Amino acid sequence: MSATPNSISRKALLTAGAGLAAMALDAGPFRLSALAAASSGGNAHLAALMAGNARFVAGNPRCVPATARRTELANGQAPFAAVLGCSDSRVPVETIFDHDPGDVFVVRVAGNFVTDTGLGSLEYSVAVLKSELIMVLGHSSCGAVKPKLTLAERTYRCGDDACGHVADRDANAAANLAAWGEHTLGLCPCVTQAGDRHPSGPSAGTPRHACGGWVSAAAVPVAAVPPGEAGTSRPRASAA
């Protein structure tokens, strides 16, 4: 986290519409900066989620009485965001974003990939409940040390005691290289977390965010989600 964000590059990225990818945790995981300028509904909501994550990481979640909005919510929900996350027990969505019942519509399946009915759920959140932000939330590796894979093994599978995530090694390598490059260029300090996958990487010595709880920016506004580009997904099971 030693890199200083290149404000010009970041501004250019924001202008170019790739801003969410460049959304940065400035100078460390506990402070947000680029988000302050966010203005559209989706960006503001994203800022709210990320601020909540910062509170969670800092060990300083709000202590809002859990019963506060229950009566109001019994009449209906209006979640500002929808999150597609993993079933992994270490990634309780509302907890890591420090948000309350009623705030976030949540779809969870091991591997956080889009299924037909998961898609229907997200569409329901947007079309009916008017959520303005969709976040696909992966999480860092499951912490288990992996035996070295041979070159012939092209698919990574998270181990027995972990989350079950399956990934294409080539796609993963590409993502890691992109993250490394962005970090090297100072474009996106937040993605130094990708270095967590490499003990000798640029973020060696910083907390592993599966336990540290950082969320890096991988969210895109609803209108900008390209079909078929939901990231690495595991092989699909047969249709229901």
> Which residues from 173-202 bind another protein, rule CB under 8 A?
none
Candidate residues 70, 130, 146, 154; the one interacting with another protein per rule CB under 8 A: 70
Judged by CB under 8 A, does residue 144 bind another protein? yes
- H-helix or E-strand containing 46? helix 41-57
Which letter, b or e, does each residue of 91-104 get, where b requires 16 or more Cβ atoms within 10 Å of its Cβ? bebbebbbbbebbb
Judged by CB under 8 A, does residue 166 bind another protein? no
Judged by CB under 8 A, does residue 215 bind another protein? no
Judged by CB under 8 A, does residue 49 bind another protein? no
R_g of the chain computed on alpha carbons: 18
Name residues whose C-beta falls within 8 Å of residue 163's C-beta, 6 or more positions apart in sequence: 86, 87, 88, 110, 111, 139, 142
**Among 11-19, 31-39, 185-193, 210-218, the segment contacting another protein (CB under 8 A):** 210-218
CB-based contact 71:96 (threshold 8 Å): no
Candidate residues 8, 151, 161, 226; the one interacting with another protein per rule CB under 8 A: 161
Name residues whose C-beta falls within 8 Å of residue 43's C-beta, 6 or more positions apart in sequence: 19, 20, 35, 221
Q: How many residues interact with another protein (rule CB under 8 A)?
A: 73
- H-helix or E-strand containing 166? strand 166-168
Candidate residues 3, 44, 51, 142; the one interacting with another protein per rule CB under 8 A: 142
Separation of alpha carbons 146 and 187, rounded Å: 30
Separation of alpha carbons 161 and 25, rounded Å: 30
Candidate residues 28, 120, 181, 199; the one interacting with another protein per rule CB under 8 A: 120
| Residue (61 or 186) nearer to another protein, CB | 61
Candidate residues 3, 12, 102, 172; the one interacting with another protein per rule CB under 8 A: 102
Candidate residues 8, 74, 151, 223; the one interacting with another protein per rule CB under 8 A: 74
Judged by CB under 8 A, does residue 128 bind another protein? yes
| Residue (14 or 113) nearer to another protein, CB | 113
Name residues whose C-beta falls within 8 Å of residue 231's C-beta, 6 or more positions apart in sequence: 113, 136, 138, 218
Candidate residues 4, 15, 67, 150; the one interacting with another protein per rule CB under 8 A: 67
**Among 7-15, 16-24, 111-119, 224-232, the segment contacting another protein (CB under 8 A):** 111-119
